[in-house]
Structures are given as structure tokens and as C-alpha cells.
Amino acid sequence: MARDPKHDILFEPIQIGPKTLRNRFYQVPHCNGAGSEKPGMQAYNRGMKAEGGWAGVCTEYCSISPESDDTSRVSARIWDEGDVRNLAAMCDRLHDFGALAGIEMWYGGPHAPCMETRATPRGPSQIPSEFEINIHPRHMDEDDIVEVQQMYVDAALRAQEAGFDIVYVYGAHSYLPLQFLSPFYNKRTDRYGGSFENRARFWKECLEKVREAVGDDCAIASRFAVDTLYGSSGIQVGEDGVRFVEYVDELVDLWDLTVGDIAEWGQNAGPSRFFEENHEKPFTGQIKAGDHTNKPVVGVGRITNPDTMVAIIKSGQFDIIGAARPSISDPFLPNKISEGRLDDVRECIGCNQCISRWEIGGPPLVCTQNATAGEEYRRGWHPEKFHPAANRDRGVLVIGAGPAGMECAMVLGKREMAAVHLVEAGKEIGGCVNWISLLGHSDGKENLARGTARGLGEWTRIVNYRQIQLDKLTNVEVHTGSKLSAQDVLDYGAEIVIVATGCHFATDGLNPATHAPIEGADASLDWQLTPDEVVAGTKTIGNRVLVLENEGYFMGASVAQKLAGAGHEVHLLTQMGDIAGYMEYTLEAPMLHRDLHRLGVNIRPYTMLEKIEPGACHAYNVWHEAHKEVFEVDTVVLCTQRQSNDELYRELKSDKRRLQAEGIENVFLIGDASAPRMIVDSIFDGHRLAREIDSPNPAMPLPFIRERRLWGEASNDDYRSQLLNTPDVVVA
């Protein structure tokens, strides 16, 4: 299909300083867990986006000195020749596919705890980080200022040597240059503090020195939070926001604009449950609209809709469409728009699982929508290419069309299996997504700082994308409303059977805190519910509700939010120190807490139930069991733990001779049916099995390339010999 002419504007080249971006798609700096120490992953993860049409692709934040060490979170580093060599691999790969390479030079100040390097971070004033624990910076005198500015220059020269085309002086998210600019951090009274010009001096001098060093050859970019959302105690867009852009505009070739800071950067990487597409427009949109810059501007806001992109450019909001998450979810977004293949776009769902793994510190990034994210190098997976399976003459039966089953059937279809039947007991495909996507909203009131509790509706994109792909695959049949017994499966005539039957919530209170059921817990009663029953609306819910949340992710809190929003009086108990702990990693927690607090939900951490009786839940403090409390409620929601629906699998496996007699070579168990997990991991599980369905033992994942240092002499071939065997990813 041809591109829709209305999208042509997205493919017009644009000049940034001495460089030209081939189109308006730009991967802004974002973390991926590769840094400088997994050069293969770094090169192939970023390179996939260049292959998919992005014009500019950046590193994550890249430390310029051992004084800026964010361990255990993974940043890139450009400290020495070794880092130059490793990041050059990324630059080369981007250039091979026609993209420009950007590096985001970063000095964190008090936000870099230096736990690996044991160095002392320097900052404008000696005030500890607002989110790191007990990290005080050293107050910088003027010699320190000159020294740190030289670190930017030296790093820029190394970046130039590595092959970078775009060099950032990174201030946004409240790192050192912005710490000088913002009175929230800068309490100085010398010529680097006080007045606007004094506070802007450090950043301005950095830009001057970096431009002087590499500006003839590289485009100079700056990432700037036009509003740190702290009111008059920080940067406000109408004040220092526009003032700073105007003040240093001549020194910058590209403005990369954001909102907020790192302490609550969910205001920037807005999760879909609180922020809609292009949510930063009211802030970042003011810079060009108010004619405060003569330079190209890139901005973000989980923008996946090409019509939104066109409107952004035509209206003068931005010149370039920035993306972090949408580029992870679909590295081929630009090419798909260019080819008019909009129904093939894998839209980001805004779950922020990608971010969560960086926040945890260490793991590679993951993506709910794109199971190949981060696996391009180590497993040789390509998001758009699927080599035919060696055993493609086999017929496959996939039972259960939830996240794992849909993904598995789709990938098996793309691997050209002779026939894939995806059989679902429910009326629709989608599995748990169909009811989970109805959670997360409250009463619709827009009083949550910048966002509102929009719910998890965008998560239905998980189903939409797969449904469209499954429809297109002529070797895949999807049958709904059909619950198969073990006998049905044996009679089905498939050589390969994959069980993806999902899971259910425990009805007896079995939980991770006590590893035992709770006395009196029984969700077969009409006043005790599992979370899915809350959504289904099959039981009457009383005015006073207790939600027991033992999972630590979104479920219990989302149920509390929904019920409190509907006017119920809600107690939310957890055995942990906070409810929904994982939502700290997905950046959803601050907004969630605002909403729960506003709704009057009674949050009780470190609290567990010992007994449930009609009208009364008996609780205790987990650190002091004698400290008891009785909650008088009408309804109890048990969000304790989940259990696999694996009866069908066990029954099939119990008679191996029968399987053999029916011509069934193998029975696999994937997703929640194997072990309940997050949707991102269920989809990965289904994808992994399909990618390796022709391996010697598909139930066991193949080894992947580990980019650890090999002792003694080593060459790249020692690492990538496996990659050379996977034909989907082009090896340079």
C-alpha cells in the first residue's frame, strides 16, 4: 500500500545544525539497560529503529564522568576509549541504516549515588537528592565548575570520535545544568546563583564550550524541562522556561523539550492510565507557538497516531515527532506509516513496563507489545521478520486466546506453520485483558495535578494488534466460544498442542504473606469477591468494602480506586510497606496515590488478615501480631494470589502413550497457565515458544548471548556465533 499523502509532511527532511534528519521521526534518549557495557544489545536495539525508519536515534543518558554513576540503574558511559569503542558499534549500525546517532551527555549531581565508583558527586548547593537516600553533593566552587564543564567537553570529543552526529547537553529531568538553573536546587549567592542570568550561566557556558569543541561537526542538542511542575520554587514555563530557551537559542541546534523532573518523571513518561496522547502539549507546545525559538524542536507524549503527528507539525507545536516508548513498541512505526500499513502498527499501550525494568536497576528493557525489544542481539529476534520453522509442516492447536496464546499463535502463523488453530472458550479473544482493561478509572474528576484517572482502556491495544494480525494470517484459524476437553484435544489432529488457559484468583485467601489460606475466606459466598468478579458485576457490593492486596502490582489498588470512585467506603490492606509497590517502577504510583487519597481510601500497609467473618475482618500488624484491629465491612475483595488453570495440561500429560497414539508430538504450557505473571511476561512466554518451536527442546529456552567479559583473549565471534545462526537479524 502506498503512503497516505496527508502523512507526507512526516517524511520531509529537516536540518539540525550541520546534520540532516531524513524525516521527522526521532527516538529521544531512553534507557534500555544496555549502556556501554552491552555494546551488542545497544547497537542492535537502537539499530532496529534505524532499520525501521527513525531518522535520529539516541543513547540513553550517558555519563560523562565516574562522578556521575547511577548504579544499579544502567546508564551509558563515555569515560574512556573503551566506551568510545563500544558506543561506536551503535553509531556504525545506525549509520548503516541511514539514521543519525545522538548521545545524551549526563552529569547527575546529587541524583547519581556513585555506588559503583565511590566518587563524590558535585552540585550547585549542598542539598541532598529528593529521592536518592542520603546522597549529599559537594558544593561546587568556581574551580569545580571549570572542571565539570571540561568533563562535558572531553566527553563531547570522545563522542565525536565514536561517530555521534548529535551531542546533547542534558539538563532536563533535573540533572546538573538544570540544577544550576532551578532555584529548587541552586541556593548560591555568587555569579552562578540568584538572578536568571546567573543561574543560567553554568548551562550556557557548557553549551558554548561543547559547541566550540565539536559544533562544526556535530549538531548540539539540549534536553530541557520547560516546567519542572514545582510552581515558583522550580522552572515554570511562562517564566524561566521560555526565558532560558530564548537566552541560549543561538547555541543550540535542536531543542528536545520535556516536562517535570526525575523524582516524578511519570509526568513526562506519562502512563496511559493517567495521561492521554500528546499530554505535554500545554507546556512544551508553548515554546514554538510563542515564537521563543528559531531552532527545530522535538517533543514527546506517547504519540502513535500519524494524524496527531501531522497536526503537531502543521500547528507548529513541534518540528520533529519524538518518541521513546512508541519506538520500543514498534521500531518500524515510521516505515509502516510510510508504506500505508497503519493496521500493522503495534501501538504503545502506556503500561511503562519498559521503564520499570530500568527503575529496578539492571534488567534489560521489556515491552508488553513488542516481545523482541531488547532481544535483537542476544536472541537474534527481529520484530518484523520470522524465518519459516523447520517443522512448519506440523499442525498446531493453541488452547486459550489470552495474551500468551494470541502471541504464540500469531508468531507461529508468521513462521509459516502449516495450520495453527487458536481455540478460545470465551466469546472474544483477549483473555484477561478484556476485563483488566476495564479497571483503573475512578470518578473521572480531573483533579490529579496534570492528569486524570483514565483507566486501562489503552491496554486493549494488546488485543487489537493481535486480532488484526491473526485475521491476516491465512494459515491461522481463530475459533471462539469453544471449550475443549482433554478428549477434544486428543481428537483434534494437531501434532503440537500448546495450552494457554490462563489463571484465576485464589478464592480461599491463599497468599504470598502466610503461604496459607485465610480463615473464613471463601469467594463462593455472595459477599466475598475476586477482582474479576468486581468488574463482571455479578455480585452486589456493599457500602463498606475491604480490599486485601497481596500482589504488589496494580490489581488491588485498581479495584479500590474503582469502588471508591463509585462511592464505596474502601479499606485497602497490604502486608507490604506500601500498596502496589511495582507501580513505583512503572511511574504510576504518584498519580495513583493522589487519586486514592483524594477518594478517601483508607490505606493500611504492613497489615494482614487472620480471619474473615460476616461483617468483620480481623487484621493484625505484620511486625507486631498482637496489634489487632477489626474492620467492619459488608464486602471483601480477595486480591491475594493467582493460580494456574493447568488441569487440561496435567490431564493431557498424564497419558503419554495416548498422546503418542493420537500423533501428538509435544504438549506445551505457556503464560499464566504455566505460572501467573505480568502480561508483558506472558506475551514473552508465548513469543519465545513460537520463536523456538523448531529447537531441539522447545519447552526449554535456548541460551542467549551473554555480554559478560570473557577472560583472556576474546573476539566478537566468541559472543555472536549464535546470532549468526539466526537469519532474521542482519549481522553487520
Partner 1 sequence: MKIVVPVKQVAALDDECELLGDGSGVDPDGLEWELNEWDTFSLEAALALREAAGEGEVVAITVGDEEAEEGLLSALAKGADRGLRIWDDELAGAAPDALAVARVLAAAVGRESPDLVLCGVQSSDAVNSATGVALAGHLGLAHVAVVKGLERDGSALTVERELEGGLVERLRVALPALLTIQTGINEPRYATLRAIKQARQKPLELQTLADLGLDGAQVASASGSRRRRLAPPDRGGGAEMLDGSIAEVAARIASLVKERLG
Catalytic machinery residues: 175
Among 127, 419, 425, 541, binds partner 1 (CB under 8 A): 419
- Applying CB under 8 A, among 134, 195, 474, 524 the residue interacting with partner 1 is 474
Q: Say whether the peptide bond before residue 72 is cis (omega within 30 degrees of 0).
A: yes
Grid cell digits, residue 438? 476495564
702 binding partner 1? (CB under 8 A)? no
Residue 16 corresponds to which cell in the numbers above?
539540525
Q: Which stretch binds partner 1 (CB under 8 A): 67-75, 491-499, 503-511, 649-657?
A: 491-499
State CA 128 to chain mean position distance.
28
CA distance 330 to 323: 10
Residue 13 binds partner 1, judged by CB under 8 A: no
Using the structure block, give the residue that is written with the C-alpha cell 517564566: 239
Task: In whole angstroms, give the CA distance from residue 464 to residue 641.
Answer: 28
CB nearer to partner 1: give 116 or 471: 471
Binding residue for partner 1, selected from 477, 651, 692, 694, defined by CB under 8 A = 477
Residues in 310-349 at the binding interface with partner 1, rule: CB under 8 A = 311
Alpha-carbon torsion angle 387, 393, 395, 396, nearest 10: -30
Shortest distance, position 666 Cβ to partner 1, whole Å: 15
639 near 555, Cβ under 8 Å?
A: yes
Cβ(705)–Cβ(377) under 8 Å?
yes
Q: Measured from the CB of residue 307, what is the shortest distance to partner 1 in angstroms? A: 10
Closer to partner 1 at the Cβ: 311 or 730?
311
Nearest to 224 by CA among 286, 156, 135: 286
481 near partner 1 (CB under 8 A): yes
- Quick check: 289 binds partner 1 (CB under 8 A)? no
Q: How far is the CB of 279 from partner 1 (least distance, A)?
A: 12
**Distance (Å, rounded) from C-alpha 237 to C-alpha 240?**
6
Q: Which residue, among 4, 5, 16, 9, has the nearest Cα to 56 in the 3D structure? A: 16
Q: How far is the CB of 357 from partner 1 (least distance, A)?
A: 32
- Name the helix (H) or strand (E) containing 528: strand 528-529
Rounded least distance, CB 343 to partner 1, Å:
10
DSSP letter string over 366-396? --SS-TTTT-TTTT---SS--PPPTTTTSEE
Contact 57, 320 (CB under 8 A): no
Is residue 282 involved in binding partner 1 (CB under 8 A)?
no
Q: Is residue 660 part of the contact set for partner 1 (CB under 8 A)?
A: no
Q: Choose between 497 and 633: whose C-beta lies nearer to partner 1.
A: 497
Shortest Å distance, C-beta 286 to partner 1:
17
Say if CB 235 and CB 245 are below 8 A apart: no
User: Least distance (Å) from partner 1 to the CB of residue 493?
Assistant: 2
We find the least distance from the C-beta atom of residue 477 to partner 1, in angstroms, to be 7
Which CB atom, from 278 or from 368, has the smaller least distance to partner 1? 278
Q: Is 482 in the site for partner 1 (CB under 8 A)?
A: yes
Residues in the chain, overall count: 732
**Which residue, 339 or 488, has its beta carbon nearer to partner 1?**
488
> What's the rounded Cα separation, in Å, for the pair 519 and 687?
40
Measured from the CB of residue 276, what is the shortest distance to partner 1 in angstroms? 8
Helix, coil or strand: residue 675: coil
Nearer to partner 1, 82 or 493 (CB): 493
Interface segment toward partner 1; rule CB under 8 A; list 102-110, 490-498, 556-564, 619-627:
490-498
Measured from the CB atom, the residue of 216 and 446 that comes closer to partner 1 is: 446
| Least gap, CB of 399 to partner 1 (angstroms) | 12
Pairing of strands 616-621, 642-644: unpaired
Task: Give the binding range for partner 1 (CB under 8 A) out of 105-113, 295-303, 406-414, 480-488.
Answer: 480-488
- Toward partner 1, which CB reaches closer, 81 or 491? 491
Q: Which is nearer to partner 1, 397 or 545 (CB)?
A: 397
| Residue with Cβ nearer partner 1 (163 or 340) | 340
The least CB distance from residue 317 to partner 1, in Å, is 14
Helix (H), strand (E) at residue 724: helix 716-724
- Closer to partner 1 by Cβ: residue 494 or 670: 494
d(CA 255, CA 279): 18
Nearest of 465, 466, 496, 555 to residue 694 by alpha carbon: 496
- CA-angle at 729, arms to 723 and 732, nearest 5°: 80
Find the shortest distance in angstroms from Cβ 284 to partner 1: 17
User: Contacts with partner 1 in 373-412 (CB under 8 A)?
Assistant: 395, 397
Give yes or no for residue 492 binding partner 1 (CB under 8 A).
yes
337 contact partners, CB below 8 Å, separation of at least 6? 3, 7, 10, 306, 345
If DSSP codes are grouped into helix, strand and coil, which group holds residue 536? Answer: helix
Q: How many residues bind partner 1 (CB under 8 A)?
A: 16
Answer yes or no: are the C-beta atoms of 433 and 460 closer than 8 Å: yes
Concatenate the DSSP letters of all residues of 69-119 into one string.
--TTS--EE-SSHHHHHHHHHHHHHHHHTT-EEEEEEE--GGG---TTT--
Phi, psi (degrees; rounded to nearest 5) at 507: -100, -5
List phi, psi (to 5°) of 337: -65, -40
Q: Please name which of 361, 377, 458 lies closest in space to residue 39, comparing C-alpha atoms.
A: 377
**Is 1 one of the binding residues for partner 1 (CB under 8 A)?**
yes
CB of 268 to partner 1, least distance (A): 21
> Judged by CB under 8 A, which of 428, 491, 526, 613 binds partner 1?
491
Q: For partner 1, give the closer residue by CB, 2 or 700.
A: 2
Which part of the chain contacts partner 1 (CB under 8 A), choosing from 157-165, 481-489, 595-603, 717-725?
481-489
CB 152 within 8 A of CB 99: no
Cell of 618: 480481623
Provide the CA 691 distance to its chain's centre, in angstroms.
Answer: 22
Q: Does 493 bind partner 1 (CB under 8 A)?
A: yes
**Based on CB atoms, which residue is closest to partner 1, 66 or 395?**
395
Residues paired with 106 in a beta bridge: 63
Nearest to 58 by CA among 172, 202, 147, 136: 172
**Segments of 284-389 assigned E as strands:** 297-299, 320-323
**Contact residue for partner 1 among 85, 187, 445, 479 (CB under 8 A):** 479
DSSP 636: E
- Residues near partner 1 (CB under 8 A): 1, 311, 395, 397, 419, 421, 474, 477, 479, 481-482, 488, 491-494
